[in-house]
Chain A
Amino acid sequence: MTRYPRWALVPTGVALALLGIPLVGLLLRANWAELPGLLVSDRAVDALRLSLVTCTISTLLVLALGVPTALVLARTDGRWGSVARTLVTIPMVLPPVVAGLALLTTLGRRGLIGGPLSAIGIEIGFTTVAVIVAQTFVSLPFLVISLEGALRASGSDFEAAAGYLGASPSRVFWRVTLPMAAPALASGTALSFARALGEFGATLTFAGSLQGTTRTLPLEIYLLRESDSDLALALAVVLLAVAALVVGVATHLRAWGSHA
């Protein structure tokens, strides 16, 4: 028995080819013999280290800001709730270069907030801090949206039960809400980390491309693509591996969550 018209297989085949073949092409072109040597070169190490550090910090920021936000949104209905949800969703669909421009005009030297900061000697634009701000800006929605959905679906009955047992709202949050949302939290974290790692447009616009300071992996790959395509492909393989790992972890965790 078929559950779909036979012709649907044709567009499906085209779609899978479109998505899969470029990845295979990338892997086939990569210089596997030289890969270890390429990855320990100065430019590669700088980019890898910068990406690792900034993505770790931005993911921690995303967790610190995003988890409480997701809880508040999941337990808030009405007009202000939907306004806040819309605000959180916008960065997900905003072109990254526009996000970068928005950050630059706000936090840059002559910006709304950047101006006064600059006057007291604090510069954000074109520093590593700018990289982290850009990554946090684009990846925060991924955590908030996925976690909010999970918290809304699980409802607040268990939290109420914990309250009757004598747990304060904070204790309920740490001992009931968070552990019960652990699968969604972990997969949301993995998704935001992946989004931060791949961040390009907003970083380039707001933070520029200084080796070791703001030139993360995607920026370095873009710069190297013509001058040293072997190194560009080697770094691309690293990003592809991380992406595959994140998808694997997220899928696994979602399955775990649905069985819990």
Chain B
Amino acid sequence: MPDAVRIDARVEARDVELDLTLGEGELVAIVGPNGSGKSTCIELIAGALRPDSGTVALGGTVVAGAQTFVPAHRRRIGYLEQRPLLFPHLTVVGNVAFGPRSRGASARDAARRAEAELEAVGLAGFGPRRVRELSGGQAQRVAIARALAIDPEIVLLDEPFAALDAAATPELRRLLRDRLRRITTVMVTHDPLDVLALADGVACLSEGRVALQSGVDRVFQNPGTRFLADFVGLNLLHGRVVDDAVELPGGALVTGMAESPLLTDQARAVFPPAAVSLYRAAPHGSPRNELSATVVGVEDRGLVQRVSLEVGSQRIHADVTPSALRDLHLGEGEAVVAVVKATQVALHPVA
């Protein structure tokens, strides 16, 4: 099967040279500092930008190259950005039916498809409404329905939650996670939670190049670059779902709170380094997770000391005060117990 997305292209004016491949049905998060080429990457796939040299291929077909350029409206791209960009002169259903209509569906088929897509985003019955009557979250859900109504080959998410208030975001993440199953997706984001909730892989861009492309677990446990370490800022432990908890390969059980139900085999437990306390021996008491760990390094970060730990074969970090570190007399290779409160652990299913 050909790659769903294959970019090997240069854009001279922006000093961007991207080499990136996505497998069929994969959701890859593109992260990187501002100006690292994230927008260029999206524009190359969408057809908003023609590379100076090299090619862009979607599903094995070259859509941009030396001799060819397929314009955006002849590609099948579901594009979702910060603003929903719903057409204000059309009704909600008119917006969602716009794509199918533009691609030759009859008015009746397009309307039927639009109603089905609206139902799938939880907005059944909203069809006749005016766009300006919608809340921000509802408008973005209509935008999702509109983007998916054209049966996109590729979905592009350009910080789709950045303009929403925090309360609406988990609901939309859950919706996208559900609706994007098996659709090849490229997502630009500044939020590690988007990556955890949605992505299979991460591509980190730096100065117009792909600095690293890897799985989500690897990136969170071993960020590799300083940007990624700061971007991630969170610990991640991968394991098997056992009831409502995650069982690590060594047998330790991690409990926490799940944003969406753990209906999958695998899941990730995620928690900030500041939520980890270190003890010489297990303290016991209260609903806490206790993990046997080995110290593999200590980094002085000014106000806090970042201790790198190995839990089985996985890596986490703990931020502790210099005095706490002194009291523990920790050195590399020593065994400790890492304790994390269950209320500070988020559990994410792995698709």
A interface vs B, CB < 8 Å?
A: 157-158, 160-169, 171-172, 175-176, 179-180, 182, 260
Beyond the given pairs A158-B87, A161-B79, A165-B99, 15 more chain A to chain B contacts, judged by CB atoms under 8 angstroms and listed by A's residue number, are A161-B85, A161-B87, A162-B98, A164-B72, A164-B78, A165-B73, A165-B102, A165-B150, A166-B76, A168-B73, A171-B102, A176-B87, A180-B88, A180-B89, A182-B89
Say whether A167 contacts B87, CB under 8 Å. no
Which A residues are CB-close (under 8 A) to B85?
157-158, 161
Complex CA gap A247/B35 in Å reads: 48
> Interface residues of B, CB < 8 Å — how many?
22
Nearest Cβ in chain B — how far from A157, in angstroms?
A: 6
Instruction: Give every chain A residue within 8 A of B76 (Cβ-Cβ).
Output: 166
A179 to B102: give the CA distance in the assembly, Å: 16
Within residues 77 to 109 of chain B, which ones have a CB less than 8 A from any CB in chain A?
77-79, 83, 85, 87-89, 98-99, 102-103
Say which residue of A163, A166, A175, A179 sits within 8 Å of B103 (CB atoms). A166
Chain B residues within an 8 Å CB radius of A180: 87-89
Quick check: B87 and A166 within 8 Å, CB to CB? no
Q: Quick check: is B168 within 8 A (CB to CB) of the other chain?
A: no
Query: Do the beta carbons of B102 and A167 come within 8 Å of each other?
Result: yes
Asked if A167 and B98 make an inter-chain contact with CB atoms under 8 angstroms apart, the answer reads yes
User: Whole-angstrom distance from the CB of A73 to the nearest CB of chain B?
Assistant: 21
Contacts of B102 in A (CB 8 A): 162, 165-168, 171, 175
**B103 cross-chain contacts in A, Cβ below 8 A:** 166
Partner-A contacts on B (CB < 8 A): 46, 48, 71-74, 76-79, 83, 85, 87-89, 98-99, 102-103, 146-147, 150
- Tell me which residues across on chain B come within 8 A of A160, comparing CB atoms: 48, 72
Tell me the complex Cα distance, A189–B193, Å. Answer: 51
CA distance A120 to B85 in the complex (A): 54
Tell me the complex Cα distance, A165–B146, Å.
8
The answer to whether B87 touches A164, judged by C-beta atoms less than 8 angstroms apart, is: no
Write out the residue numbers on chain B whose beta carbons fall within 8 Å of the beta carbon of A166.
73-74, 76, 99, 102-103, 150
Q: Tell me, in angstroms, the Cα distance from A180 to B87 when the chains sit together.
A: 8
In the complex, chain B residues whose CB is within 8 Å of the CB of A175: 98, 102
Closest CB-CB distance, A58 to chain B, in whole Å?
28
Residues of B near A163 (CB, < 8 A) are 71-73
Contacts of A171 in B (CB 8 A): 102
**Cα distance A175–B103 in the bound complex, in angstroms:** 14
Partner of A164, one of B73, B83, B88, B89: B73
Q: How far is the CB of A117 from chain B (nearest CB, A)?
A: 41
